[in-house]
Amino acid sequence: AACGFQVRLQRKQMQYQIQVYLPSFMFVVTSWVSFLIKPEVVPGRMALLVTLFLVLINIFNSVRTNLTNFREQAPISSRLNAVDLYLVVCVFFVFSALMEYAAILMLLKKRRKPKRTIDEGLKTIFPMARNGDVNQPVQRPERKKNNYAVSRAPPDTITPHKQALCDNIDAWALWISPPVFLFFNLVYWVAYRHVNEFEFDNT
């Protein structure tokens, strides 16, 4: 007669799913909203993407810190963890959205020529340099009281070709990013669930 027992260990994934996976997933989905914002709204779109990028980096660093503290008395594996892989992919998606907006800004960038040369600017700032009299008091240029009479440079115009190209880039990014990210989530959860079941069958 023989007797024995079997020990089956199961990881508690609910804590990581609520604190790490769900916020990271939501941040990546929020980054897709930037594709709907006009490229001319630079502060709003840039602030959204940079904030999401920094938040994901903070989540990644906090997870790595917690795992390091947990492994102080255990051997450290050189393999990439499941949580690390998921966070790295999320950071990559937000970084890709940021680089896509940077490419649009490069297309919209227009070389501006200076209105005045350096000598003309210095003569405007220091009028005494014209007459050569150092002791002569500096006379400030008269300001026009009428605000509508002040001449302003015409605003930078965007050609229809560039505007259509930027809209197409945003549209393609909006159509490509969600399916790719959802496909990654499908492969990720199926693969790691299969790995856990395989490990339990071999124990």
**What is the average pLDDT across 103-127?**
72
Query: 186 vs 27, 115, 174, CA distance in Å?
Result: 18, 56, 19
DSSP single-letter state for residue 71: T
* Per-chain mean pLDDT for the chain: 77
Q: Which residue has the tokens 């503290």?
A: 69
- Lowest-confidence range among 3-7, 21-25, 135-139? 135-139
Q: Note the pLDDT tens digit of each residue in 17-62.
A: 888 899 999 999 999 999 999 888 889 999 999 999 999 999 998 8
Q: Note the pLDDT tens digit of each residue in 56-103.
A: 999 998 887 776 665 554 455 567 788 889 999 999 999 999 999 999
Length of the chain: 203
Cβ-contact 34, 101 below 8 angstroms = yes
Burial of 54 (0-12, 13-18, 19+ CB in 10 A): exposed
d(CA 44, CA 171): 19
d(CA 90, CA 24): 7
Burial of 93 (0-12, 13-18, 19+ CB in 10 A): buried
150 falls in which pLDDT band (50, 70, 90)? very low
d(CA 50, CA 95): 9
d(CA 125, CA 127): 6
